[in-house]
Amino acid sequence: MSVLAVNGGAPIRTAPYPSVGSAAGRTVGDEELANLEQVIRSGMLNRSGGAFVPGIEEKFAKHLGMKHCIASTSGTAAIHVAVGAINPTPGDEIITGPITDMGTVIPILSQNAIPVFGDLRRDNIGLDAEDVERRITERTTAIIPVHLCGNATDMDPLLKLAEKHDLYVIEDCSQAYGTLYKGKHVGTMGHMSTFSLQQSKHITTGDGGMTVTNDDSLAEKAVLFANKGWPNYGSGDRDYVMFGMNYRMTELQAAVLDAQIDKVGWVTERRNEIGDRICAAVSKLDGIQVPGVSEGGRHTYWFLALLVDQEALGISTNALAGALSKEGAPCGAHYIGQPIFMYDLLREKRIYGDSDFPFSLQPEGQQVHYEKGETPETERILDDMLQVSINEKMSDADTDDIIACFEKVWANLDELRQ
């Protein structure tokens, strides 16, 4: 094939792809505008007295086959609502994955609990239950598996582990709308589950979050936590019955979400189609591992995470990502770069002023460690990861171009080894 673009050859593609940063890659349109006009004309923009927020809570719960849904202001808030509902004692520990956004970690620290990071499995980039179990102590209160990239964590062993040790499970489904695990929707297996509506997610209100549960008691506490501990959403006698935040979603966000929920099925089906097609093609190339999906599962490709055998290929992930990008593939390397706990904020345990709180609540000699080598498989995953952007608005021709970029680079690997 022709010379690689990184070495001066003609690229496969120069035109941009649809992306989540513009209307070209989003599904917002006339339906959302009609709902927003209805809210503006009503004069009621707050959820108190509004119709859209309670309406979308019922609609989203029904969409997942769940009993309860609590709308909030962000994906971070949705996780905080769940953590607030289980109400850990300061110094309690919550185990989660080290490839995630700070939005998963902030709610743990905000409740003065300790984030503990379990290692990940290479096949699905989800929590390794065996590694999680060795990190469980008498202070562990919950596990938060993060369903990454649109793929499902292997939930069965984690659920068994939680039952064995009497722990809560809170599923972080921010990147996993429409994802299936053994035929079950993610977000329907834990005690509570959370979804993000940030701009880049499968569906969006710009920012926003949803917390779902089948547990009546946890739902009641979650509603209170999202409303400053006030039971009545602005009506009736003033009272505060538990500690909480003001995470109330507005009618404006809910108006957009009402239309977005109707579109999420098409979005996730289209992303699955595109991602599966790319995986089928690149899996034939040497040194590439495509995501493993459970029997009866479905990947909805918030992005496509490919793992490269750098040693076998004799080429670094950075060099491959650079060559693919120059050919016109929407490709990068290493995602967040390093485990989340290696960023200085967490590594140095400087959360509240000059103190080491809440880490000081851990017994002497049993403090959590945030340092290189703590989750070795996660480090290897990040080092080997190529991420490919997937968008529901990509055409078949766009998909063909992405595949062609991979095929061209792999046909000319010797150029990268020189």
**Considering the domain boundaries, does residue 157 fall inside one?**
yes
Dihedral sign from CA coordinates of 182, 184, 186, 192: negative
Residues 212 and 284 in one domain: no
Task: Give the span between the Cα atoms of 113 and 72, in whole angstroms.
Answer: 21
Q: Which residue has the tokens 């496509």?
A: 304
Q: What is the pLDDT of residue 233?
A: 67
Task: Give the span between the Cα atoms of 82 and 77, in whole angstroms.
Answer: 9
Q: Which residue has the tokens 């595109």?
A: 274
259: phi then psi, degrees, rounded to nearest 5: -80, -35
Residues 277 and 175 in one domain: no
Q: CA dist 79 to 134, 219, 282, Å?
A: 24, 13, 35
Residues 257 and 303 in one domain: no
Residues 69 and 9 in one domain: no
Kindly report, residue by residue over 349-394, the tens digit of the pLDDT. Answer: 999 999 999 999 999 888 999 999 999 999 999 999 999 999 999 9
Q: What is the pLDDT of residue 241?
A: 85
Is residue 406 within 8 A of residue 388, CB to CB? The reply is no
374: phi then psi, degrees, rounded to nearest 5: -70, -35
Q: Which of 210, 198, 279, 203 is nearest to 249 (CA)?
A: 210
> Could you say which of 262, 292, 311 is where a domain stops?
262
Q: Which residues of 350-380 are buried (b: 16+ CB within 10 A; e: fewer)?
A: ebeeeeeebbebbeeeeebebeeebbeebbe
> Could you say which of 243, 262, 281 is where a domain stops?
262
Is residue 234 within 8 A of residue 49, CB to CB? The reply is yes
Residues 154 and 208 in one domain: yes
Task: Give the span between the Cα atoms of 271 and 202, in whole angstroms.
Answer: 9
Q: What is the pLDDT of residue 1?
A: 57
User: Domain range spanning residue 240?
Assistant: 30-262
**Considering the domain boundaries, does residue 362 fall inside one?**
no
Residues 111 and 16 in one domain: no
Query: What single string gives the DSSP state of each residue in 308-320?
Result: E-HHHHTS-HHHH
Is residue 386 within 8 A of residue 409, CB to CB? The reply is no
Give the chain's residues under pLDDT 50.
none
Indicate the pTM of the whole model: 0.96
Q: What is the pLDDT of residue 2?
A: 83
Residue ranges of the alpha helices (H) in 111-241? Answer: 129-134, 155-165, 216-225
Q: Locate 415 and state its tokens.
A: 């150029």
Residues 113 and 228 in one domain: yes
**Considering the domain boundaries, does residue 357 fall inside one?**
no
**Considering the domain boundaries, does residue 168 fall inside one?**
yes
Residues 124 and 134 in one domain: yes
Q: What is the CATH number of the domain that holds 321?
A: 3.90.1150.10
Cβ atoms within 10 Å, residue 178: 24
Residues 96 and 239 in one domain: yes
**Considering the domain boundaries, does residue 354 fall inside one?**
no
**Considering the domain boundaries, does residue 355 fall inside one?**
no
**Considering the domain boundaries, does residue 195 fall inside one?**
yes
Q: What is the pLDDT of residue 232?
A: 74
Task: Give the span between the Cα atoms of 203 and 193, in whole angstroms.
Answer: 17
Q: What is the pLDDT of residue 88?
A: 98
Q: Which of 183, 113, 123 is nearest to 149 (CA)?
A: 123
Task: Give the span between the Cα atoms of 37 and 26, in whole angstroms.
Answer: 20
Task: Give the span between the Cα atoms of 388 and 396, in whole angstroms.
Answer: 16
Residues 242 and 300 in one domain: no
172: phi then psi, degrees, rounded to nearest 5: -95, 105
Question: Judging by DSSP bridges, how do beta strands 93-96 and 140-144 pair with one another?
Answer: parallel
Task: Give the span between the Cα atoms of 272 and 1, in whole angstroms.
Answer: 30
Kindly report, residue by residue over 100-136, the tens digit of the pLDDT. Answer: 999 999 999 999 999 999 999 999 999 999 999 999 9
114 secondary structure, DSSP code: E
Q: What is the pLDDT of residue 142?
A: 98
Query: What single string gives the DSSP state of each residue in 241-296?
Result: -S---B-PPPHHHHHHHHHHHTTHHHHHHHHHHHHHHHHHHHTTSTTEEPPP--TT
**Considering the domain boundaries, does residue 360 fall inside one?**
no
Residues 257 and 268 in one domain: no
Q: What is the pLDDT of residue 239?
A: 82
Q: Which of 81, 77, 80, 87 is nearest to 68 (CA)?
A: 81
Q: What is the CATH number of the domain that holds 82?
A: 3.40.640.10
Task: Give the span between the Cα atoms of 9 and 2, in whole angstroms.
Answer: 7
The number of C-alpha atoms within 13 Å of 289 and in the hemisphere containing its C-beta is: 17
Total domain count for the chain? 2
> Could you say which of 246, 262, 278 is where a domain stops?
262
Residues 165 and 70 in one domain: yes
